[in-house]
Amino acid sequence: MQQTFNLKLNILLESKENGGTIASALEFPGYKVEASTRQQALEALQQVLDNHLKTIEIVPLEIQVSYTPISGNPWVKFAGIFKDDVYFAQIADAIRAERESEDDTEVDPSVYER
């Protein structure tokens, strides 16, 4: 028993310099028609897609995929990447000194008031 359903497609209409129109469905990029008018292009594309969809079937397929799981934390490989970088050491020292500083002039005291 044949069943019907509505399928909403996005149609790309391209105007040609000669006045014709090219129509294609974004969901089916392999199907393209050219006609003298916009309406004829839409009708021709609808006919082509209708003929195509009558012969196809969509079947879900579940497959088993083998893979090697990543062990441990993937960020570990970046640990120590700057260990010999003099500039990074200077930047880290400056950040550490600023964090440990007793200077709170840049901090708005109302942030800590309740």
For residue 24, count CB atoms less than 10 angstroms from its CB and return exposed for 0-12, middle for 13-18, buried for 19 or more: buried
pLDDT, position 104: 65
* Position 41 in a domain: yes
Range of the domain at 33: 11-54
* Position 47 in a domain: yes
Domains in the chain, number: 1
pTM (two decimals): 0.50
Q: CB–CB of 11/45 below 8 Å?
A: yes
* Position 102 in a domain: no
* Position 26 in a domain: yes
Ranges under pLDDT 70 in the chain: 1-2, 104, 107, 114
* Position 31 in a domain: yes
* Position 98 in a domain: no
* Position 97 in a domain: no
**pLDDT tens, residue by residue, 39-63:** 999 999 999 999 998 888 878 899 9
Q: What percent of the residues of the chain are helix, what percent strand, and what percent coil, each to the nearest 5?
A: 35, 15, 50
